Amino acid sequence: MPNDDGLKIITAGELMETQLIPQHQIVDEFLPAGTYILFGDPKIGKSFLVTQLCWNVSEGKPFLEHETQRADVLYLALEDTDVRLQGRLHRMFGVDWQGERLHLAFQTNWQGDELIQRLRDFVFEYPDTRLIVIDTLLRARANTSGNSSYADDYTDIQPFKEFADTYNLALVLVHHARKKKDGTNPFDWMSGTNGLHGAADGAFILYRDKGEILLDSTGRDFPPRRFVLRFSKSICQWELVRKDQHDFEEVPAPLLDWIDAIVLDFWKGTATQLLENLKEVSPELTWLPNQLTKKLNVLTARLEQEKGIRYRCSRNKERRLLTFERIPSNPK
């Protein structure tokens, strides 16, 4: 229940009873919805990387060998001209494509909250928007003096995060690395204070190390990862050479396989009915209906990501209904 200042307080039991709809995965196992900072040295190829990301998502093409969810994309190329970006797109992708879902902007006098309001207007007009890239952060943030404290940096990023969270999309802010790189952790090389990283959901750094180009990432919703890349000069695109670090392994959940076995295209019923079906697959089950729905709430995102099954829980006046629908792109 909310208290006088609007703080919403619930019990842990109520939280477990609640089904939370998973974040959009803009690039599968690479870029979920949220706010991220991509930074690196000047001229290392950040703009080529985000141009490739934007184009691939808008066309539904794999990005660095990761599947994308086709959607509308807004790319604010605030340090580019239309001539330069036209040439880059031609070199990277030719001309045999329509580009109707990739939207571009080159200059703006809006910053901070004013810019975010324009982004809200854009998403209202294009509700299928799932990716916005702002190149660069310096042109978009409210404080452009270059003299920031931790609180200033955090405060500048927080409205962007609130916007991305509200509309369940990925917002990528392109930024620069420091000229002087202290320490061995690449994420300490971000220009500015740790307030930038603290307010964002994650960060990507593109950098050279021992003759290789590395893209390291860290975030709240995925473990630290490293991708070794190479730049193909013939097509002006980044290519994945290898992943140096294994992705986080989820805790085994047999329930995912059991649901996968009983859902052909569509299933709808109560938790009691579902338990009866599940016992045909796993007779030793002793769960109660309420225990089953709690487990399903926790596994909602994994069902969709690993099995291609969209699960929703709804309640009418009489009972709670569970619905499972196999996503068409993942036929059984």
pLDDT in tens, 61-74: 999 999 998 999 99
The residues with which 72 forms a beta bridge, in sequence order, are: 129
Q: Please list, in sequence order, all residues whose beta carbon lies within 8 angstroms of the beta carbon of residue 30, skipping any fewer than 6 positions away.
A: 63, 64, 66, 217
pLDDT at 318 over 90: no
The structure's pTM equals: 0.78
Residue 183, beta-bridge partner list? none
Tokens matching residue 225: 């990862």
Largest CA distance in the chain: 66
Spatial CB neighbours of 60, under 8 Å, sequence gap ≥ 6: 68, 69, 70
Contact between 60 and 69 under an 8 Å Cβ cutoff? The reply is: yes
Residue 226: what pLDDT? 93
Indicate whether 255 pLDDT > 80: yes
Give the model confidence (pLDDT) of 285-314 as tens digits.
Answer: 889 999 999 999 989 988 988 899 999 988
Sorting pLDDT into bands at 50, 70 and 90, what band is 47? very high
- For residue 42, with 0-12 CB atoms within 10 Å meaning exposed, 13-18 middle and 19 or more buried, which class applies? exposed
Higher confidence at residue 198 or residue 255?
A: 255
The reply to whether omega before 136 is within 30° of 0 (cis) is: yes
* Long-range contacts from 103-108, C-beta under 8 angstroms, 24+ separation: 103/72, 103/73, 103/74, 103/75, 104/74, 104/75, 104/77, 105/74, 105/75, 105/76, 105/77, 105/78, 106/77, 106/78, 106/80, 106/81, 106/82, 107/78, 108/76, 108/78, 108/139
Q: What is the mean pLDDT of residues 219-227?
A: 85
Band of residue 1 on the pLDDT scale cut at 50, 70, 90: very low
Q: Which of 307, 295, 253, 251 is nearest to 271 (CA)?
A: 295
Best CA proximity match to 45, nearest among 192, 232, 301, 227: 232
DSSP 273-313: HHHHHHHHH-TT----HHHHHHHHHHTHHHHHHHH-EEEEE
Convert the pLDDT of each residue in 233-244 to its tens digit: 999 999 999 998
Of the candidate ranges 40-44, 106-110, 118-122, 226-230, the one whose mean pLDDT is the lowest: 106-110
Dihedrals phi, psi of 201, to nearest 5 degrees: -80, -15
Cα–Cα distance, 229 to 313 (Å, whole number): 41
pLDDT, tens only, 108-117? 888 889 999 9
Higher local confidence (pLDDT), 1 or 220: 220
Token pair in block for residue 205: 């750094």
> Could you give the CA distance from residue 116 to residue 157 in angstroms, rounded to a whole number?
11
Give the model's confidence band at 332: pLDDT under 50 very low, under 70 low, under 90 confident, else very high. very low
Q: Please, what sign has the CA dihedral across residues 327, 28, 119, 49?
A: negative
